[in-house]
Amino acid sequence: MKSWLAHPTKTWRPGSAVAATLLALCFGASAPAGETGDLASLRAEALALVNESRSRHGLDPLQVTERLNTAAQVHAEDMLERNYYSHTSPEGENVGDRFRARGGSRWKKVAENIARCTGCPSVPTAERVSEFHEGWMNSPGHRRNILAPGLESFGFGIIGENGRQFAVQTFAGPGMPLALQSGEEPVALSAKEQVAAAARLVNAEREQAGHADLKTSEALNTLAQRLLPTDPSDDRIMERPNGLLELLPSGSEREWSAIDVAAGGCGGCGMQPTGADVRYFVDQWLENPQNREALLGSDATHIGFAMLATGEGRKIAIAVAGNRLE
């Protein structure tokens, strides 16, 4: 890990991490082992520095939350007390775990920057916070966390003792579409546009395989929509019923000889359905042999598609391929 020499007798090292894991753990609280200084003032300074940097790059400001403040402070105190320096605790708990243990959503993108200073005064100051921030901004990985789009919340923790200081920045937000390309804007697509985009991508693969294009079907769109969770808090991607045909619009059940389904989900992937999301899900399906066969099978004639975006970073997509009787 790269280190910066701030003074012949003072060194500090930053570290950065991004988490998108889906496991929630609980942590016990412990009393601070050292000095925090005027923590409220230092947190205000840390937030101001982050938002100033984001503003210079045309990014939205972040809002401080007690949840992220606590997650950051607990980690700084734990590193000081148990004398380790890592995004992962000795028990394997990471920034995502710390965030979720305090009520954070398992579907948000979570990121963390850490830094330490040795040979420093034990009481943290605004000057030290500024120096930590400058070091993070001069390090590509930490800079990416500070300037990441799709973030909305911020927390900061800092503590010192016996000439050591540990500082932690913690970030959270809905994230951005996972397949977003350089220079591409995450423009929201209507349901009709989503279906057209999915059909276009699948048909491009079918053409290479020598199969006829799939036509879009309102009946299959309806079926796909009905397979999406009705409760956004439901962690399941899809509850597959025994009879798919029963979910078709009334009166259309006998029009189809076969129906197959592909489903997928993501977290920390933005707030609204976009073309990048459709690309992401179709690419994932085409890499899976079972889903690839469902979408590229020679017997399929039509396709339906639906996507759910919860607004906090979770998205679920359903594709339905069917053979319509002539």
How far is it, in rounded angstroms, from Cα 315 to Cα 304? 17
- In this prediction, residue 6 has a pLDDT band, given cuts at 50, 70 and 90, of very low
Instruction: Determine how β-strand 63-64 pairs with β-strand 153-161.
Output: parallel
Closest CA to 249 of 304, 316, 193: 304
Residue 309: what are its φ and ψ, rounded to 5°? Answer: -120, 120
The DSSP secondary-structure symbol of 33 reads: S
How far is it, in rounded angstroms, from Cα 221 to Cα 252? 13
Q: How many CA atoms lie within 13 A of 81 on its CB side?
A: 15
Under a CB-based contact definition with an 8 Å cutoff, are residues 12 and 115 in contact? yes
- Quick one: pLDDT at residue 1? 25
- Quick one: pLDDT at residue 26? 32
- Quick one: pLDDT at residue 22? 28
- Quick one: pLDDT at residue 14? 56
Whether domain 38-173 has CATH 3.90.550.10: the reply is no
pLDDT > 50? residue 24? no
Tokens of 295: 């979408």
- Quick one: pLDDT at residue 25? 30
How far is it, in rounded angstroms, from Cα 139 to Cα 150? 20
Tokens of 289: 């042999």
Q: Does residue 99 sit in helix, strand or coil?
A: helix
Per residue in 69-90, pLDDT (tens digit) is 999 999 999 999 999 999 999 9
If you average pLDDT over residues 284-293, what whole number do you get?
96
The radius of gyration of the chain from alpha carbons, rounded to an integer in Å, stands at 24
pLDDT > 60? residue 228? yes
pLDDT > 60? residue 55? yes
Superfamily of domain 191-324: CAP (3.40.33.10)
Burial class (CB in 10 A: 0-12, 13-18, 19+), 310: middle
- Quick one: pLDDT at residue 254? 87
Instruction: Determine how β-strand 315-324 pairs with β-strand 256-266.
Output: antiparallel
Non-local CB neighbours of 200 within 8 Å, separated by 6+ positions: none
- Quick one: pLDDT at residue 15? 60
- In this prediction, residue 243 has a pLDDT band, given cuts at 50, 70 and 90, of confident
Per residue in 118-154, pLDDT (tens digit) is 999 999 999 999 999 999 999 999 999 999 999 999 9
Give the rounded percent of residues in the chain with a pLDDT score beyond 70. 88
Any idea which of 9-23, 101-115, 160-174, 217-231 has the lowest mean pLDDT?
9-23
pLDDT > 80? residue 3? no
If you average pLDDT over residues 14-24, what whole number do you get?
43
- Quick one: pLDDT at residue 239? 63
Residues of the chain with CATH 3.40.33.10: 38-173, 191-324
Start-to-end Cα distance in the chain: 65
- Quick one: pLDDT at residue 7? 23
How far is it, in rounded angstroms, from Cα 169 to Cα 26? 20
Residue 225: what are its φ and ψ, rounded to 5°? Answer: -60, -40
- In this prediction, residue 230 has a pLDDT band, given cuts at 50, 70 and 90, of confident
pLDDT > 90? residue 11? no
Q: What angle do CA 321, 323, 324 make, to 5 degrees?
A: 120
**Averaged pLDDT score across all residues of the chain:** 89
- Quick one: pLDDT at residue 252? 86
How far is it, in rounded angstroms, from Cα 123 to Cα 260? 63
